[in-house]
Structure 1
Amino acid sequence: MSKFSRNTPDQQRSWSRHASHYDKVFLDPYGPAVRNPLWAQLDAVEDAGSKTAADLGCGTGPLIKPLLERFGRVVALDFAPGMLAKARERLAPEDRDRVTFLQRPMEELEDLAGSLDVAVAVNSLVMPDVRRIHHVLTAIHATLRPGGVFMGVAPSMDAIQYHTMLLHEQALDRGLDPAEAEQFAALHGEHRYYDFAFGRFQFQGLRQKFWQPFEFDHRFKKAGFRSVALDRVLYPWDENFVGADEFAAEPPSWDWFFRAEA
């Protein structure tokens, strides 16, 4: 067990506690109105039926079925037992022998070294300690076969700042003075949950890392990846966003999609 793993029991309990209503608390990157580059990238994997993919930080398991529809075998890993229990409930009996469930932190991947063709991490590369993110990225790199790829979604800090800008201008347009407009934007942008300087988020016991775009190239190459490309997961303006009705004509909010080559 790594020194980082010893610090995760409280997060295991927090994430397990949220398992039953996870989809109501966090933005859903799989929603029908969401533009998610993940699907096209998974479809582009050649001869996927003979390959193994891993869902790292699988949560309640919404990605497991789409992976099974494309790949021959799937590894589903999460450190929260409550999340894994929900993920197992999604699995059809005929698919059980094609999925391996692992309860462990994401950096404990030594037994998977060189065994994966594709690794996917959707909103799970969120450890608030960036030292641990480095260990996780290094461990994932080691699991990939030559030519393997790592792809996924990471929450965007700059999208929070974009929403803040829109809220601020909305308040100014309504006649609030600058100080009042800033208070309005901070309140409805839920700034109390964010540390913008270091890209951290904390809510009801959960602690997460939010990403700026310039971090991906730096952190992934430091962990050994040859390249990393970014795209955006685009979310519709809906009830998840304060002021959404007035922002309908504005470009949508986003999270970051990444694809890295081993």
Structure 2
Amino acid sequence: MNFNGHTPNQERSWSRHAARYNDVFLDPYATDVVNPLWQALDAVGDAGAKTAADLGCGTGPLLGPLLGRFRRVVALDFAPGMIERAREQVAEADRARVEFLQRPMDDLADRVGTIDAAVAINSLVMPDVRCIQRTLEAVRACLRPGGVFLGIAPSIDAIQYHTLLLHDQALDHGMEPADAERFAAFHAEHRYYDFAFGRFKFRGLRQKFWHGFELEHRLARAGFRSITVSKVLYPWDDNFAGGAELADCPPSWDWFFRAEP
């Protein structure tokens, strides 16, 4: 049985991970992360009179920053466990300004032309790209004229970059090439990835990972314009295998994008 590209099993898997979400995934909101999202949100004019949508809100880490900038916030997620955790992030005084929706991201027909700023942080990760395309088209339709779509998408390029650095690290420690390749593949967790199609599978979760050029392609195909793609930069820390030894290398990244309807 399929619900717009999301299976009940995926809803349960994401709900199951809600309590330890920040232990499993990189945190783009950490203070030592270089995140273009904040500047892009600050650039939204007259935000205090506008409505933002957190599409795929997860456990709700972005709700506070959005409520601090916008008049109203729509928080959407298809996993009930995520919605439950996100509700806990909203202070009682702000609850009247937040509308929670438990539904897939492509189910926005009743929101056409009502959103000024849509934000999707690591939520454009449906393994079926047809669902992603429907979602992008639905997001574009829900934006008012002059609106903006902002987001972060996990980078498959960064996994390959980490692999390169681990491979060099192993060679520098005297490993033979074949052993260095096995070392890099193991510690970069290649067993979880399909690099050809940018897919990730871990403990019941199935996700899409992105190349920057693919983001531009799919946003443009959905009718967005003025598309810019840049990087969210993560420091080498204990979230990465061998991070301490990679501290002097350029940082890892996810993709940040900004697009207009």
- TM class, shorter-length: over 0.9
Structure 2 partner of 1:94: 93
Structure 2 partner of 1:8: 7
Structure 2 partner of 1:229: 228
Alpha-carbon spacing, 1:112–1:93, altered in 2? closer, same or farther (3 Å): same
> Any stretches of 5+ residues in structure 2 without a counterpart?
none
Give the 3-state SS of the residue equivalent to 1:5 in structure 2.
Answer: coil
CA drift of 1:5 comes to: 2.4
TM-score, normalization: structure 2? 0.98
TM-score, normalization: structure 1? 0.98
1:14-33 → structure 2 map (5 Å cutoff) = 14-33=13-32
CA drift of 1:3 comes to: 5.7
CA drift of 1:175 comes to: 0.8
Structure 2 partner of 1:191: 190
Amino acid at match of 2:35: N
> How many percent identity over aligned positions?
68
1:209-228 → structure 2 map (5 Å cutoff) = 209-228=208-227
Mapped to 1, the partners of 2:6 and 2:98 lie a distance apart of 28
Residues 197-224 of structure 1: CA deviation (Å, up to 9, x unaligned)? 0000000000000000110121011111
Say if 2:11 and 2:78, in contact at 8 Å, map to a contact too.
Answer: yes
Mapped to 2, the partners of 1:158 and 1:38 lie a distance apart of 20
Mapped to 2, the partners of 1:98 and 1:174 lie a distance apart of 56
Mapped to 2, the partners of 1:204 and 1:186 lie a distance apart of 19
> Any stretches of 5+ residues in structure 1 without a counterpart?
none
CA drift of 1:231 comes to: 1.2
CA drift of 1:8 comes to: 2.0
Structure 1 partner of 2:171: 172
Amino acid at match of 1:228: I
Structure 1 partner of 2:73: 74
Amino acid at match of 1:212: H
Say if 1:77 and 1:101, in contact at 8 Å, map to a contact too.
Answer: yes
Say if 1:122 and 1:154, in contact at 8 Å, map to a contact too.
Answer: yes
Amino acid at match of 2:159: I
Runs of 4+ in structure 1 deviating by more than 3 angstroms, as ranges, are none
Say if 2:148 and 2:258, in contact at 8 Å, map to a contact too.
Answer: yes
Say if 1:118 and 1:148, in contact at 8 Å, map to a contact too.
Answer: yes
